[in-house]
Amino acid sequence: MNKRKRENKLTGWTWSVTSILLAVLILSGCGSKSGGSIVEGKVNVITTFYPIYEFTKEIGGDNANVVNLLPTGVEPHDWTPRSQDIVNTSKAQLFLYNGAGLEGWVPGFLKGLDKDTQVKPVEVSHGIQLIDAVGDDGHGHGEAAHEEEHDHSHEEGAEAEHDHSHEEGAEAEHDHSHEEGAEAEHDHSHEEGAEEDHAGHDHAEEPAETSTDTHHTDPHTWVSPKSALVMAENIKNSLVEVDPEHKDGYEQRFEALKEKLVKLDKDFTSELSKMPKKDIVVSHQAFGYLCRDYGLTQHAIMGLSPDAEPRAQDIVNLTKTVKEKEVKYIFFEELVSDKLAKTLANEAGVETLVLNPVEGLTKEQASGGENYFTLMEKNLQNLTKALQ
């Protein structure tokens, strides 16, 4: 009996260890699906979310190993990186992030990188005239700013609030975008002498102000093909800078990408200029650059962050706008809940359509071969349908 008990104990212990190892392997596999590892002999590029990842893959070709931090199917506004992301980025040559307040965790993340890292951080929205917008405070976009320089992530003085990234489980501390006094680290206006009132804002209607509303920089630069072209060129230039040996390849592949973006821009310009209506109602305020560049006006249920909560009065006001502007469709997104969009549509007696801010792919879109261009073409189709 004693021998059998010992055997049972040993069998149970072995099974426990096996279970733990299996769990670790499963978790490791899950992690690798949403990211990747450093590859020797190539330019290793870490990107923060999908559009930058896609453009970098196209321009980098076989010369670049591109690792995207944001997992498939995850909305980027409130996501924060893991400790493994810090390890990979420390070993990479390039770290490409959108900026303009999208990734509020970036200053702390950069501060947490290995002290011997050679990685070059690049804010790919540099050079785009940014839009100032009203948005609910504290929803993960980082503090808005509109004064002088666009990239302050390396400045001394950004350390105190953000040096949490070496601690295990430090993900929660990485997002400091809500703290008062965080403005200095997130000063993202590029144009020297940029006008404070940002001409063109009349095309991106701001939601009704509440007592918590504050001015933020609209980070959704990539949603306009015109801005996406600026971003693509910044990505190409950064690759050439860290890997001049393969400059010709980067230039050639950039020209191919540029051709597609220019065609997309022309299609949007041509089709939307014909539309008799110019007002769209969207679930969150992600289409300011698209509206500015193609002569539309957005009316948003929520502010810059898709998880902001509108007031009942906001819904009432939007219902009135829908009727006054003869809006036939309320647009919703696939990575966030469509509940409010459908509620408003029911209140106003209209239908819903998808307008995708292309912040990421769903798992179905990824497996189905969708990309920035196919999603933007669908956006154009749905816009022309709604604006008839």
Distance, in Å, from the CA atom of 320 to the CA atom of 299, rounded to the nearest integer, reads 11
CB neighbours of residue 196 within 10 Å:
8
User: In terms of Cα–Cα distance, which of 210, 387, 227, 383 is closest to 303?
Assistant: 210
The neighbouring-strand residues paired with 36 are: none
pLDDT value, residue 134:
59
pLDDT value, residue 13:
42
pLDDT value, residue 290:
98
Distance, in Å, from the CA atom of 58 to the CA atom of 256, rounded to the nearest integer, reads 9
User: pTM above the 0.85 mark?
Assistant: no
Low-confidence residues of the chain: pLDDT under 50:
3-34, 135-214
pLDDT value, residue 284:
86
